[in-house]
Amino acid sequence: MSAAFGTTIPAPLSPAAMNAGIMSPDTIGPAMNEVGTLVIGGGPGGLAPLLAAARAGYLDRLLEAGLVIVDRGSRIGGGALGSYIINSDSSAETFLSCVTTQSHPLLRAVADTEEGRQVAAYGKGAVPLKLAAALLDRAGEALHQIIEAHPRGRVLTGTEALDLRRRPDGSWSTGLRDQRGRRFEIASRSVILATGGRQPESRLLAERVGGVPLLPQPDERLVQSGAVLDGTALPGVARMLAETKAAGLRPVIAIAGGSTSAVSCGHVLLAEMDKAGVKDADLVLLTRQKLRLFYPSAEAALADGYDDFHPDEDACPVSGFVYRFGGMRFDNRELAMRLLGVGGRPQEPRLRLHLLQPGERQDPVAAQWLAKAQLVVAAFGYRPWALKVRDAGGRPITLQAQTGYRASLVDQHSAVLDEDGQPLSGLFGVGLAAGYVPNVAMGGEKSFRGQSNGLWLWQNDVGLEIAEGLLARLCSPDLPAQAA
């Protein structure tokens, strides 16, 4: 029982129960042909606006207008988060807050599940992403029950979204395919794209590091950061380390990229070296920018001997945090501190940093590292899975995210943008690779130029803004029409 609300902790849903609400051409029914909101993707990104809406007391209003979640998997919740073998860069308390701050008994009761208690045990520290995903799976089960209990709510697992078409009245029609291969459509006033991210292989040939192509052609030495972070590349890494060790060679691994994922790869690969007993190696991080460290205040940073920041540009005016959005945290922060020699941390002799020449200038040193590396890790981040979008006349709408490898899917209000940078009314995007850049009201350092993939932000400020945008569309009697 939940001490706070006296409600029974929800038991995990069976696969049959989770699939009970699947629509098909036979069962969709006229009541659900048109709904207020369709959420495409039931992972952490897709759940975030709904958790924010529940906290603000908006979820019932969204359900009354009709709310459908579709996901290709068998459940909603943690999504692909559970595939990663690393720890979070947010605290366990932050993950747990998505349910502890809720008023709905089913959501709040998730904190009292076994997963909730395990996450809580990590306190203010990082938590393994597998465990964080398990907690979100339980939150997803609670949301599933809440949504399916409403006559205008559905959770469609085993269902794939195929395309989007703007209707003449300004609403959207989404083409879907169920797990039997049958196609059908749902019309909705608004759509949330929370389809996650991918690492397209084509980018590896287009990206340049130090003024030269990463590799002239696909090469067996090359892996993407996602394959390191989910462990699928590690058997090959172990073989390479064993072979070089047996041959008396010094392993060389180059990581191209300076993001959080690049440093996370370094953490994973150093652990693999430790397992293999490799004490003498070169693990070089090739990056265009300096590594930045998060600190709770400028005073704390200076006390550690870290002064590579400007208070007016790099400290958040709301929280006082140094590099609130752009700084390394937890495991990555510790490794970066060792690399930079900050805070008395001992140096990691196998790890080194090489700052690339600005722009596309030739960098002979970087080229040498890439040439002699037995393994090259491309840590260029993720690109969004964007569906095909068409206007009311059936003509394709090119999204801004489809115009280049660094182009964002959304603007500062989470509206999906077309190729001209104009928002598509009623189409929102959230989650990994959406390219969201926090607006001034949310705080953060002025110098921050990247995208924010923080789960707390999605479940709070970003998710709330999306929920309010959905409600505004529901309250508007007339939608902006798209010319046929």
The pLDDT, as a whole number, for residue 252 is 97
Whether 415 and 268 share a structural domain: no
Whether 374 and 389 share a structural domain: no
Whether 44 and 190 share a structural domain: yes
The pLDDT, as a whole number, for residue 31 is 52
Instruction: Please indicate, yes or no, if residue 481 is contained in any of the structural domains.
Output: no
> Could you read off the pLDDT of 366-424 as tens digits, one per residue?
999 998 999 999 999 888 988 899 999 999 999 999 998 889 999 999 999 999 999 99
Whether pLDDT at 199 is above 70: yes
Instruction: Please indicate, yes or no, if residue 315 is contained in any of the structural domains.
Output: no
Residue 8 DSSP code:
P
For position 117, which CATH number holds? 3.50.50.60
DSSP output for 450-476:
S----HHHIIIIIHHHHHHHHHHHHH-
Instruction: Please indicate, yes or no, if residue 29 is contained in any of the structural domains.
Output: yes
Whether 32 and 168 share a structural domain: yes
The pLDDT, as a whole number, for residue 17 is 36
Whether 188 and 214 share a structural domain: no
* Dihedral (CA of 409, 413, 419, 421) sign: negative
Is residue 24 very low, low, confident or very high in pLDDT (cuts 50, 70, 90)? very low
Whether 93 and 149 share a structural domain: yes
Tokens representing residue 267 in the block: 């953490």
Whether pLDDT at 26 is above 80: no
**Average pLDDT over the chain, rounded to whole?**
88
Whether 271 and 368 share a structural domain: yes
> Could you read off the pLDDT of 180-190 as tens digits, one per residue?
999 999 999 99
Whether 352 and 410 share a structural domain: no
Q: Which has more pLDDT, 80 or 259? A: 80
Is residue 455 very low, low, confident or very high in pLDDT (cuts 50, 70, 90)? confident
Q: The pTM is what?
A: 0.89
Whether 175 and 153 share a structural domain: yes
Report d(CA 148, CA 170) in Å as an integer.
27
Q: Which of 383, 339, 369, 85 is nearest to 255 (CA)?
A: 369
Strand bridging mode 388-390 / 160-166: parallel
Whether pLDDT at 277 is above 70: yes
Whether 195 and 273 share a structural domain: no
Whether 262 and 155 share a structural domain: no
Report d(CA 19, CA 162) in Å as an integer.
20
Instruction: Please indicate, yes or no, if residue 141 is contained in any of the structural domains.
Output: yes
Instruction: Please indicate, yes or no, if residue 172 is contained in any of the structural domains.
Output: yes
Range of the domain at 225: 202-287+347-378
Tally of domains within the chain: 2
Whether pLDDT at 15 is above 50: no
Instruction: Please indicate, yes or no, if residue 101 is contained in any of the structural domains.
Output: yes
Q: How far is CA 64 from CA 11, 32, 152, 216, in A?
A: 26, 11, 6, 55
Whether 247 and 222 share a structural domain: yes
